[in-house]
């Protein structure tokens, strides 16, 4: 689903200048938006579980792409970045299990959004600069 102008404006602070990675981040944030709306509207647990499952699967694909790029380009902070990704995946799994026991709270989407926004703003922004430098020297 293509992002709207409003989505682009909202996403602008988290743009890294790497088109594919930026598109992945938009998709992850869209899933979190959908989860937030589903929680707000008291959707059935199966809907919430499905959204968390989609977020989980997309995050795994996205993280694999990021980590592959980091490995190819020799990013020195790869291990720390991978650990951060693994912690996020563990948390999504736990929250997905909590849906079944009705323990998913309204702050779940807010926490997921905050984690992703901070991760993009700090850790991903760091490797984006590294990527640009490496690519520029190889061009």
DSSP state of 76: T
What token pair was written down for 102? 């009705």
Comparing CA positions, the residue from 21, 8, 53 lying closest to residue 120 is 21
What pTM, to 2 d.p., does this model score? 0.83
Query: Is 70 within a domain?
Result: yes
Query: Is 64 within a domain?
Result: yes
How many domains in the chain? 1
Query: Is 104 within a domain?
Result: yes
Query: Is 12 within a domain?
Result: no
> Residue 31's domain spans which residues?
21-138
Distance between CA atoms of 75 and 55, rounded to whole angstroms?
Answer: 26
> Tens of pLDDT along the chain (139 residues)?
444 444 556 788 889 999 999 999 999 999 999 999 998 898 888 898 899 999 999 999 999 999 999 999 999 999 999 999 999 999 888 887 777 666 666 778 888 989 999 999 999 999 999 998 988 887 6
């Amino acid at each position: 689903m293509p992002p709207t102008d409003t989505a682009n404006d909202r996403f602008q602070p988290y743009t890294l200048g790497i088109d594919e990675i930026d598109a992945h981040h938009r998709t992850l944030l869209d899933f979190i938006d959908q989860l937030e709306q589903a929680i707000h509207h008291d959707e059935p647990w199966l809907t919430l579980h499905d959204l968390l499952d989609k977020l989980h699967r997309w995050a795994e694909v996205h993280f694999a792409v990021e980590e592959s790029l980091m490995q190819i380009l020799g990013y020195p902070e790869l291990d720390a970045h991978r650990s951060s990704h693994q912690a996020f995946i563990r948390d999504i799994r736990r929250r997905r299990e909590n849906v079944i026991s009705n323990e998913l709270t309204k702050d779940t989407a807010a926490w997921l959004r905050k984690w992703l926004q901070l991760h993009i703003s700090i850790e991903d922004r760091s490797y984006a600069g590294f990527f640009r430098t490496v690519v520029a020297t190889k061009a």
